[in-house]
């Protein structure tokens, strides 16, 4: 090779340059003043596979593909002409057709006329560092994108663009990803700026091929692009740009699940595929990272906005959705299954959740779901927003609508539940009034809860003051229970016709040091809602038992005493045991206790009520069904539940002279008689009422006509028994 340079040997400049090149122990070439190659060292021929003969007198520019760092080769040459040392990054070809990233350090040598005579170009293969830098940069960009919550699609495009600009010189990259069961594609904007960068592949005839690519285990590389059944647009684009090589790289999650495929079309084959594979792996990791982050984001979004148990949107999302609506003109409804807390208490949270879920599904299938927003308001409440148009069809029959939702029983874990619904409703006509409307609907709901059975209440101003009043009562009630302010009063039940006292009913009386006398009709429902009723009942029971003990000790007559037990307490898991323990504590005779429970209780779960009544019966306690006739339930369950006594509600007694009432009461008494259940008429105020009832076969009565509820002192003083 050297012999061919003899003509230059004499040239001192040339020799100087060559010595310099040799000393650098780098790959180098020497260019003449037209920047054609006139010499290269062996290291260079090893790196590029060119023989000197191949490249002699070709311009150096022809050996390069692409220049980086914003400088054009012309610019580099200009610098060199001026005698300036210049550095540049380029993509250098190899004889084999492959290329590598190279960093050039160009040292020009000028003659005495200040013309550049020779240029020493030292060449360093920087492919590895270049790729390393690239992945480093991409990694940084990806983290920034994640931090800035850039949409997932844009993150994928970032990968495609980066590959096209910096990873594979001259390439076209696209990523095809499975998403919600469909295939979507994102492509780099480098070659196709006018086309959309993201679209669904549903319409593509080649979809099967892509689906198959995704499932492949390993990367596929090749150069017969023409033969590949890829999408025509891509094929045309690649061929037009002479990107005839391809790499199909399956994208898989850490657990091996196939996510998609990355396709890269590029101009020449890389011979160091190992390096590229390594970096591609890193790129894939970034894609899967972005993907799992996206999934996490979705989960977080779901967690933040959806009630996972029932699938409803949660309260925050509901309010947000409302404020997103263009026009707001409708009604807010807050709905609660009346028996929700009791069901949760008895069967656990899961049953309660399932109940709400089923209720939600019924609302969804009620046909109004597309015009209504439905959300979970709190653990037991569903909130609904309905537009005026729907309400107009529903209004007036709001109660019918709710009844329709619960007319069939709910089956949860094989158990059958009949429930009723309470609903508070308020008008909403402006987005800014959402919070107010919700508060109003909540107030109306509290009103609705005062009524038994399914009930809808619309908000009115009075609700506000009522609510305030309730709140004050509750506050003092908590104190009252601590201070044992509750006392038992007794109202006798008498044998009609004989006016003899057969038993008495214990009724809670509360004279608050602050509020004065508060009627049980007021504080009992509040205590029930606040979960305080059990304490009241227990305090009353203890007073009754103490009284028994005292009377027995004094050798006085005792009569059976009825105690009122609210359903919440009745269904409490330890109700029967606790009662039994108390009875034992006072050495009382259980035969002298009657448990009064309201008729609505059978609705929750007849089977369970039956079991508790049976348990009470086995312990010698009788049960009485209170306020019979006003509730939801029918005579039919009287047969199932072993009540010893039935108390006809006061509302029947007061209207006993009306024919309709008379007939109902008559049949109640008959059925009770057949079932061997004693009948007591409540609230007898006149002799006429007493007479009629007696004639109908009612053996016992209770009411102001005979006795009002009395304190123990009064009973003792007047020696009533
Ligand atoms: P209830 O068990 O049906 O009791 C009968 C109610 O009617 C009592 O009201 C009684 O004072 C009233 N009453 C009796 N005879 C007449 C009458 O001739 N005319 C009129 N107008 N009223 C009469 P009270 O004491 O206000 O109790 C109301 C409700 O509060 C009770 O209805 C009962 O459900 C509940 N309650 C009372 N004490 C307790 C208790 O210790 N525990 C529980 N869980 N509930 C209780
Ligand atoms: Mg009662
Ligand atoms: Mg009653």
- For residue range 413-458, what is the model confidence (pLDDT) as tens digits? 988 888 889 999 988 887 777 888 898 899 899 889 888 888 899 8
Pair 364, 445: CB distance under 8 Å: no
- 505 CA from centroid of ligand 2 (Å): 7
- 118 CA from centroid of ligand 3 (Å): 116
Separation in Å, CA 218 to CA 210, 245, 247, 277: 14, 17, 10, 11
- 334 CA from centroid of ligand 1 (Å): 30
Lowest-pLDDT range of 109-118, 250-259, 296-305, 471-480: 296-305
pLDDT band at 478 (very low <50, low <70, confident <90, very high): very high
What digits encode the pLDDT tens for the residues 507-533?
Answer: 999 999 999 999 999 999 889 888 899
Q: Where are the alpha helices (DSSP H) in 61-126?
A: 73-81
What digits encode the pLDDT tens for the residues 605-616?
Answer: 778 888 999 999
SS3 207: helix
In which residue ranges of the chain is CATH 3.30.450.20 found?
A: 6-125
In which residue ranges of the chain is CATH 3.30.450.40 found?
A: 130-302
Q: Which ligand is nearest to the CA of 703?
A: 1
Ligand 1 atom nearest 647 alpha carbon: 3
The correct answer on CATH 3.30.450.20 for the domain covering 6-125 is: yes
Protein residues with C-beta less than 5 angstroms from the ion ligand 2: 564, 596, 626
CA-CA-CA-CA torsion sign (291, 292, 294, 299):
positive
Pocket test residue of 342, 489, 524 for ligand 1, highest count of atoms within 8 A of CB? 524
Question: Number of C-alpha atoms within 13 angstroms, CB side, residue 122?
Answer: 15
Among candidates 188, 250, 259, which has minimal Cα distance to 220? 250
Q: What is the pLDDT of residue 66?
A: 66
Ligand 1 atom nearest 709 alpha carbon: 11
Pair 189, 197: CB distance under 8 Å: yes
20 or 597, higher pLDDT: 597
Does the pLDDT value for residue 578 go beyond 50?
Answer: yes
SS3 329: coil
Topology annotation, domain 477-718 = TIM Barrel (3.20.20)
- 570 CA from centroid of ligand 2 (Å): 14
Paired residues of 593 in beta bridges = 561
Q: Look up the CATH superfamily of 130-302.
A: GAF domain (3.30.450.40)
Q: Which ligand is nearest to the CA of 521?
A: 1
Task: Tell me which residue has its CA closest to atom 22 in ligand 1.
Answer: 683
- 615 CA from centroid of ligand 1 (Å): 26
What digits encode the pLDDT tens for the residues 63-80?
Answer: 987 665 456 788 899 999
In which residue ranges of the chain is CATH 3.30.70.270 found?
A: 313-459
Ligand 1 atom nearest 519 alpha carbon: 26
Does the pLDDT value for residue 7 go beyond 70?
Answer: no
Query: What is the dotted CATH code of the domain comprising 313-459?
Result: 3.30.70.270
What digits encode the pLDDT tens for the residues 25-47?
Answer: 789 999 998 999 999 998 999 88
Structure tokens at 645: 């006594």
Percent of the chain residues topping a pLDDT of 70: 91
Residue 524 CB neighbour total at 10 angstroms: 20
Pair 508, 526: CB distance under 8 Å: no
SS3 312: coil
Pocket test residue of 488, 496, 564 for ligand 1, highest count of atoms within 8 A of CB? 564
- 451 CA from centroid of ligand 3 (Å): 15
- 577 CA from centroid of ligand 3 (Å): 25
Q: Which residues line ligand 1 (CB under 6 A)?
A: 491, 507-508, 519-521, 524, 533, 536-537, 540, 564-566, 596, 626-627, 650, 682-685, 702-704, 709
Chain mean pLDDT for the chain: 86
- What are residue 76's phi and psi, to 5 degrees? -60, -45
Q: What is the pLDDT of residue 645?
A: 95
In which residue ranges of the chain is CATH 3.20.20.450 found?
A: 477-718
């Amino acid at each position: 090779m050297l012999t061919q340079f003899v003509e230059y040997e004499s040239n001192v400049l040339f020799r100087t340059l060559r010595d310099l090149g040799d000393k650098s122990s780098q790959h180098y070439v020497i260019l003449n003043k037209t920047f054609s190659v006139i010499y290269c060292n062996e290291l260079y021929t090893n790196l590029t596979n060119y023989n000197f003969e191949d490249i002699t007198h070709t311009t150096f520019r022809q050996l390069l593909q692409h220049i980086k760092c914003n400088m054009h080769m012309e610019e580099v040459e200009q610098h060199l002409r001026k005698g300036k040392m210049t550095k540049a990054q380029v993509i250098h070809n190899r004889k084999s057709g492959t290329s590598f990233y190279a960093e050039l350090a160009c040292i020009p040598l000028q003659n005495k006329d200040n013309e550049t005579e020779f240029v020493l170009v030292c060449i360093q293969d920087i492919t590895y560092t270049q790729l390393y830098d690239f992945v480093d940069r991409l990694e940084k960009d990806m983290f920034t994108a994640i931090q800035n919550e850039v949409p997932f699609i844009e993150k994928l495009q970032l990968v495609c663009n980066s590959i096209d600009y910096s990873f594979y010189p001259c390439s076209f990259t696209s990523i095809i990803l499975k998403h919600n069961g469909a295939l979507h594609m994102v492509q780099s904007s480098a070659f196709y700026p006018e086309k959309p960068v993201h679209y669904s592949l549903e319409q593509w005839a080649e979809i099967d091929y892509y689906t198959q690519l995704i499932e492949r285990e390993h990367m596929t590389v090749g150069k017969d692009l023409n033969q590949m059944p890829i999408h025509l647009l891509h094929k045309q684009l690649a061929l037009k740009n002479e990107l005839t090589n391809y790499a199909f790289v399956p994208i898989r999650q850490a657990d091996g699940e196939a996510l998609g495929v990355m396709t890269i079309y590029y101009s020449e084959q890389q011979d160091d595929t190992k390096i590229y594979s390594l970096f591609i792996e890193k790129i894939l990791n970034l894609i899967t990272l972005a993907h799992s982050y996206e999934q996490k984001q979705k989960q977080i979004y779901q967690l933040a906005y959806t009630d996972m148990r029932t699938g409803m949107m949660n309260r925050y999302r509901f309010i947000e959705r409302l404020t997103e609506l263009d026009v707001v003109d409708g009604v807010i409804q807050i709905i609660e299954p009346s028996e929700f807390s009791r069901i949760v208490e008895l069967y656990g949270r899961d049953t309660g959740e399932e109940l709400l879920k089923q209720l939600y599904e019924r609302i969804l299938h009620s046909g109004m779901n597309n015009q209504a927003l439905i959300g979970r308001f709190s653990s037991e409440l569903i909130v609904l927003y309905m537009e005026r148009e729907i309400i107009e069809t529903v209004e007036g029959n709001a109660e019918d609508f709710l009844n329709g939702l619960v007319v069939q029983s709910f089956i949860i874990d094989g158990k059958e539940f009949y429930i009723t619904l309470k609903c508070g409703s308020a008008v909403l006509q402006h987005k800014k009034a959402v919070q107010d409307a919700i508060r109003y609907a909540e107030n109306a709901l509290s009103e609705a809860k005062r009524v038994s059975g399914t009930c809808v209440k619309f908000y009115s101003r009075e609700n506000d003051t009522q609510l305030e009043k309730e709140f004050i009562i509750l506050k003092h009630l908590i104190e009252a229970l601590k201070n044992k302010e509750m006392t038992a009063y007794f109202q006798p039940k008498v044998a009609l016709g004989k006016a003899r006292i057969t038993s008495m009913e214990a009724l809670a009386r509360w004279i608050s040091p602050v509020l004065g006398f508060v009627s049980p009709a007021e504080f009992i429902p509040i205590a029930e809602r606040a979960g305080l009723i059990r304490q009241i009942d227990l305090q009353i029971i203890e007073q009754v038992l103490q009284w028994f003990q005292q009377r027995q000790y004094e050798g006085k007559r005792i009569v059976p005493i009825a105690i009122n037990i609210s359903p919440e307490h009745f269904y409490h898991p330890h109700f029967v045991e606790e009662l039994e323990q108390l009875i034992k504590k006072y050495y009382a005779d259980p035969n002298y206790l009657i448990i009064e429970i309201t008729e609505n209780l059978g609705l929750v779960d007849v089977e369970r009520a039956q079991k508790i009544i049976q348990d009470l019966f086995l312990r010698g306690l009788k049960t009485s069904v209170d306020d019979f006739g006003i509730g939801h339930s029918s005579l039919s369950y009287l047969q199932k539940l072993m009540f010893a006594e039935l108390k006809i509600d006061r509302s029947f007694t007061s209207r006993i002279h009306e024919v309709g009432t008379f007939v109902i009461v008559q049949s109640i008494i008959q059925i009770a008689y057949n079932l061997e259940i004693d009948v007591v008429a409540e609230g007898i105020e006149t002799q006429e009422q007493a007479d009629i009832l007696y004639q109908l076969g009612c053996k016992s009565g209770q009411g102001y006509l005979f006795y009002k509820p009395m304190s123990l002192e009064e009973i003792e003083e007047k020696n009533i028994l």
